[in-house]
């Protein structure tokens, strides 16, 4: 929850900076007052959604694959573009039950075989393709020892086009 608050505050601050109508404290105050949550629910309703939805109401796909850390170390970064591509291949946003749950955050220490993230889908072939890409691109980077590992890494391009026939 603290991480979500800090991230929300940073994103809100950025938007407020664009408007020129406040600063980081303004953003934090808006979030803490509940005005931001109220506005979010108005947006959800305007888009045809249930404004009273709770996280526990959101259905997730019955197919899931967890990606584990290949080594112990520290999470140095998350490749957002690759995470988004994996989610798309799993079916998001068209399949509303598809997506990714992150189990590790930047700066956290992880052990070998600890879950890094879980992919959800309703389609077996989509989740298998998403798993294949996840294993190719290493979207969550774990470094064991910064003094012994270079931060420059070579990884397969993400610009592959996947053809998937849907019925």
Can you give the pLDDT at residue 160?
53
Burial class, 153, CB count within 10 angstroms (exposed 0-12 / middle 13-18 / buried 19+): exposed
- The pLDDT of residue 97: 96
Residue 161, both tokens: 């086009």
The predicted pLDDT at position 16 comes to 81
* Residue 99 pLDDT: 96
**Res 167: pLDDT:** 43
| Residue 95 to residues 12, 52, 98, 120, 147, Cα–Cα distance (Å) | 28, 21, 6, 10, 43
Regions of the chain with pLDDT less than 50: 1-2, 165-167
Break the chain down into helix, strand, coil percent, rounded to 5: 40, 15, 40
């Amino acid at each position: 929850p603290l991480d979500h608050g800090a991230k929300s505050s940073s994103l809100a601050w950025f938007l407020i900076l664009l408007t020129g109508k406040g600063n980081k404290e303004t953003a934090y105050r808006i979030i803490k007052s509940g005005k931001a949550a109220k506005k979010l629910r108005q947006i959800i309703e305007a888009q045809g959604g249930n404004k009273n939805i709770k996280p526990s109401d959101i259905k997730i796909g019955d197919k899931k694959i967890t990606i584990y850390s290949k080594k112990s170390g520290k999470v140095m970064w998350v490749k957002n573009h690759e995470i988004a591509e994996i989610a798309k291949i799993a079916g998001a946003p068209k399949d509303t039950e598809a997506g990714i749950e992150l189990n590790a955050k930047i700066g956290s220490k992880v052990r070998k075989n600890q879950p890094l993230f879980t992919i959800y889908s309703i389609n077996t072939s989509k989740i298998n393709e998403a798993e294949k890409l996840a294993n190719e691109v290493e979207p969550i980077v774990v470094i064991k020892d910064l003094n012994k590992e270079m931060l420059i890494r070579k990884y397969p391009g993400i610009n592959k086009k996947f053809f998937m026939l849907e019925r």
